[in-house]
Structure formats: structure tokens, C-alpha cells
Chains A and B, each alone.
Chain A
Amino acid sequence: DTEVTQTPKHLVMGMTNKKSLKCEQHMGHRAMYWYKQKAKKPPELMFVYSYEKLSINESVPSRFSPECPNSSLLNLHLHALQPEDSALYLCASSRQEVDTDTQYFGPGTRLTVL
């Protein structure tokens, strides 16, 4: 099983809402990632978790709050977002946080902030 699942597929939220994105993998991977992808642009790294600890935060605003409750799950908590935060949010995992380990991506959550 080389699948990374993400829920929900689509999310529409207001600027005062609190919502969460969920990512799950059962490949035994110990590194997990959040990326943001705007239309017609490449994915941009947001966060990296390695062995359930935050390894990299690419200066992401605090209205995005990641959480890794166990080795299979990665959440992204959203609060007080802005319309410019509308994008495709991709989760990925790899065996470890090593440059030669392949990252497997989920299908993404399409987020619209009104």
C-alpha cells in the first residue's frame, strides 16, 4: 500500500472559522510533510515532521498549526485564514527525512476561504 489519504477533498470556510485537514499513511513512514500549491504553481513546502517532531517550519503564519499525533497521522489546523490562503494543500510522506527517500503525495485538499 503506497497510499497517502487526505480528508476532506474540498473545504470551504469563512475567515472566522476553525477547521482541520487530515492526512494518513500506513506505509510505516516516519517523515511527513505539508505543502501548499496555488493554481498553476509548484508545491511549496510548509512543514516537515520527522519521528513525530517538527523538523522544518518554512516561516508559515501561525494561523496554520500542524500536529502529528502519531506516526501515521498528520493534521493541519486552520484558524482565521485569509482569502489568499485558498489553495490545494498537499500532504506527503517518506520513509525517513532523508534526501533520497521518495516522497509519496496524497491527492490534496482543495481549500477555499471566503
Chain B
Amino acid sequence: GESVGLHLPTLSVQEGDNSIINCAYSNSASDYFIWYKQESGKGPQFIIDIRSNMDKRQGQRVTVLLNKTVKHLSLQIAATQPGDSAVYFCAENLNTGGFKTIFGAGTRLFVKA
């Protein structure tokens, strides 16, 4: 999602439903992508990653999909729980000699009990 002014895009889901968070990345040369979860008062926490030679990767309750044609990533969370409430960032690692991590704008996920 794209940030609009000072407001993060927000997704509100019912506990037990599936969540889908979308992200557009910027650089077609990026080779590696990561989803991070950031809870209030904490630093970002790694959730799942995917390399550019894959289009899908599954973890525990999470799946990442990569569409390189349209430079789009999505994070699917199955059976969303209240503990999943957080801000979710996609990130791309860009090789510039060293490499640097560029974060997307972020999406806030609210889970209603």
C-alpha cells in the first residue's frame, strides 16, 4: 500500500479470517524481498522472505507471493489472531556494491476479536 499523507493504510479483519497485505516495490533489479512485522514500541521483526526466482513461499500461517511483472508482493496471513495486530512492511534488498534494504510504506493491520 502507498502512504497517504501522515496516515498508514489500514486493514481491519475479524479474528479467524484470512488477511492479505499488498505492497508495490520500486526497483526491478531487486533480488530479495522480506516482510517485517513491527509492533508498537518494538523494532521490525522478520516474518518471511522470498528470492526473485520464486513466486510463492509458505511459512507457518503466512504466505508471500511475488509478481515480478508488476513489481508486486503480497503477504497472506491465515486465521488471523489478535497478536497479529501490527504494522507490516515489505522490504527489498538492492545490491549497490554493498546492499541496502529499502522499506515500503507499511500497512497497519487491526484484528477485531
CB-CB under 8 A from B98, the residues of chain A are: 48, 50, 55-56, 97
Determine the interface band of chain B, counting residues with CB < 8 A from chain A: 20 to 34
Known: A42-B106, A48-B98, A58-B100. A102 touches B46 (CB 8 A): yes
Q: Looking at the complex, which one of B43, B49, B51 makes contact with A105 (CB distance below 8 Å)?
A: B43
From B43, B51, B99, B105, give the contact of A97 (CB < 8 A).
B99
Give the shortest distance, in Å, between B25 (CB) and chain A (any CB).
12
CB <8 Å contact, A44 and B103: yes
With CB as the reference atom, state the residue of chain A lying closest to B101: A45
Task: Map CB proximity to A onto B3-21 as digits: 1 under 8 Å, 0 otherwise.
Answer: 1001110000000000000
Per-residue 0/1 for B74-113: is the Cβ within 8 Å of any A Cβ (1 yes, 0 no)?
0000000000000001000101101111111110000000
Q: Chain A's nearest CB lies how many Å from the CB of B1?
A: 11
> Chain B's interface: helix, strand, loop or mixed, by majority?
strand
Given the contacts A56-B98, A102-B49, A41 and B3 also touching, CB distance less than 8 Å: yes
Whether the pair A90, B100 counts as a contact (CB closer than 8 A) is no
Q: A44 to B95: give the CA distance in the assembly, Å.
A: 16
| B41 within 8 A of partner (CB) | yes
- A40: chain B residues at CB < 8 Å are 3, 6-8, 106
Q: Which one of B31, B34, B89, B103 has the greatest number of beta carbons of chain A within 10 Å?
A: B103
* Distance in angstroms between the alpha carbons of A105 and B46 in the assembled complex: 9
CB neighbours (8 Å) of A50 from chain B are: 98
Cβ-closest 9 pairs across A and B: A105-B43, A42-B103, A99-B93, A55-B98, A99-B32, A99-B99, A56-B98, A105-B44, A102-B46
